Amino acid sequence: MKKRIAIFISGRGSNMRSLLERIKKGDLKAQCEFVFSDRHDAPGLQKAQHYGVTTYSFGVKEFSSKERYEAELLRLLQKHQVEFIVCAGYMKLIGKTLLDAYPYRIVNIHPSLLPAFPGLRAQKQALDYGVRYSGCTVHFIDEGVDTGPIIAQAVCEVSPKDTEESLSRKILKLEHELYWRALQKIFAGYEIKGRRVIFKR
């Protein structure tokens, strides 16, 4: 059975695009019900429309509170019977309204090997720290910043010549390969034991 998903973005949407491509090819057994952006000018919105996917965009500031903003999102998610929320460069923290409605069913991708370098500009943080390896992490979202249970990770070398841009490119390539595979794994069933994600298959 195909899982019904919504993809949340804020920007260019290259991860979103690679997921839509995998869905189109039949590699990822999912149906993307809609793409949401909290920014009206996110370039990813047009890309989603090219795939014939419904898009919505509205910002927190258009509502009297974050709760009201998320309540509207929840209304859309329920209307479309969405089972999983897939964040792909969505720059807002997920609040209680959505976390309570989708416990361990909101997924994110982050450009570092968590728990190292959570938050913004993870690639720069990794370079500044001087690590020899970095990569990306797919994880469930909880109430912290990039702290939820880890679903999958991929690793790359950091070369002394790397800049923030070159390392970001290297990691992004890994992200596009990792994200759909990680989703496929959890769609086949999983349970959470402590912090550990145990796949059923």
Residues from 2 through 61 that contact ligand GRF (CB under 6 A): 9, 11-15
Long-range contact set of residues 20-28: C-beta below 8 Å, sequence gap at least 24: 20/47, 20/48, 20/51, 20/53, 22/180, 24/51, 27/180, 27/184, 28/180, 28/183, 28/184
109 binds ligand GRF per the rule CB under 6 A: yes
When binding is defined by CB under 6 A, the residue of 35, 53, 88, 138 that contacts ligand GRF is 88
The amino acid present at 54, given as its one-letter code, is: T
Residues from 132 through 191 that contact ligand GRF (CB under 6 A): 136, 172, 175
Choosing from 40, 50, 80, 110, the catalytic residue is 110
* Catalytic residue check, 80: no
- Crossing angle for the helix pair 122-129 and 164-187, to the nearest 10 degrees: 120
- Nearest approach, Cβ of 191 to ligand GRF (angstroms)? 25
Catalytic residues: 110
Residues lying near ligand GRF in the complex (CB under 6 A):
9, 11-15, 88-89, 109-111, 136, 172, 175
